[in-house]
Amino acid sequence: MSFHLESPLLYCARIFDMRRRNFLGLVIGAVAFALSGFKTAKAKTAKAKTAADLKGPITKIAFGSCCIQDGPQPIWDVIAKSAPDVFLFIGDNIYADTEDMTLMANKYKMLGKKPGFARFRNATPVLATWDDHDYGINDGGLEYPKKEESKKLMLDFFGEPAKSERRQRPGIYTSYYLGPKGKKLQIILLDLRWFRTALNYDKAIDGYKPDPSPKATILGEKQWEWLAAELKKPADLRLIASSTQFVSPDHKWEKWANFPIDKKRMIDLLDENKITNAIFISGDMHYAELSAETSPKGFKIYDLTASGMNLVENGSQYPNRYRISLYDKTPHFGLIEIDWQKSSANLALKVISDKGKTVISDKVSYPIA
């Protein structure tokens, strides 16, 4: 997402106290060791949790986006208190915006050294996709020349196995199947950057308009083929992570509606496969909202946006005819709670503020065959 009024640095400086506090431990009282050959014990570094650590039915999924590495990140401790089984980092996980891979690597290191994040990822698996700023270029797509290098940095940072399919094919899209039969959750992480064609910029509105060209695409054909196959696999509940909003059609920034052929293709794909159990989650906009639209076959499509882990923007200035709820006051994260019953999956769709308060809440239920 573009920063609409200020540069990213000015925007962040306005919102956050950027003063860094160094906590330097003081070495008190030097100890002389008389015994030769004494060896000091090495501190063990905790290993970050991964998808391989996920066991049993998944009942609580947290997610978030838009997390500037230079600013304070107290939100991690609040997320930890909600005790999610897994956290989905769905884009703008750092703000790199560079072709300098050393600079990008250093920004990942800054995130990794955040005490709250370090504690959290050692206790909870973190699964990730990217958006534009961690991809490397604001509002960027297939034209970004350093995407291979950026991909490696991103996958290395989030502990992607060396032989995973993600590392073997273009893009970073992937899926996970978690839980037993009757409680099977499919998590799909889309890549909206690697294959995406140019946006249709309109100077008159200083924003983007829908591009009706058949060549315009947000996913690219290879990812579409993969997604079609994934959606044919059986699952009792599906969570589709899209770094930009799927449902909201009216604002002038990045969204699926800028690619009307691809958006229709997604809805048709869901309808054709009679998929009624899919929830979209999204980020990018620097505020939170819940939106829903109805497919041509009458299926309700929900999109829960949580976008502002340490920055927020006035969301009421952006129209959305499908908006159910809006929150734009403080940093926040998304939370989906699943109550697995024998014949249904009952969901609570929530946004939680940085103070631990539920600021958006709705319920939806899906039958289990």
* Contact between residue 208 and residue 254 where contact means Cβ atoms under 8 Å apart: yes
Paired sense of beta strands 200-202 and 207-209, if any: antiparallel
Which range among 12-16, 34-38, 106-110, 307-311 shows the weakest confidence by mean pLDDT?
34-38
Mean pLDDT rounded to a whole number for the chain = 89
pTM: 0.88
- Single out the residue of 119, 126, 57 nearest to residue 89, CA to CA: 126
Domain range list for the chain:
49-367
How far is residue 62's CA from residue 66's CA, in Å, rounded to a whole number? 14
What amino acid occupies position 8? P
Q: What would the pLDDT profile of 292-317 be if each residue is shown by its tens digit?
A: 999 999 999 999 999 999 999 999 99
Q: What is the pLDDT of residues 212-270, one digit of tens each?
A: 999 999 999 999 999 999 999 999 999 999 999 999 999 999 999 999 999 999 999 99
Distance CA 111, CA 251 (A): 30
Least confident of 48-52, 62-66, 93-97: 48-52
The strand pairing partners of 362, in sequence order, are 349
| Architecture field, domain 49-367 | 4-Layer Sandwich (3.60)
What was the pLDDT predicted at 56? 79
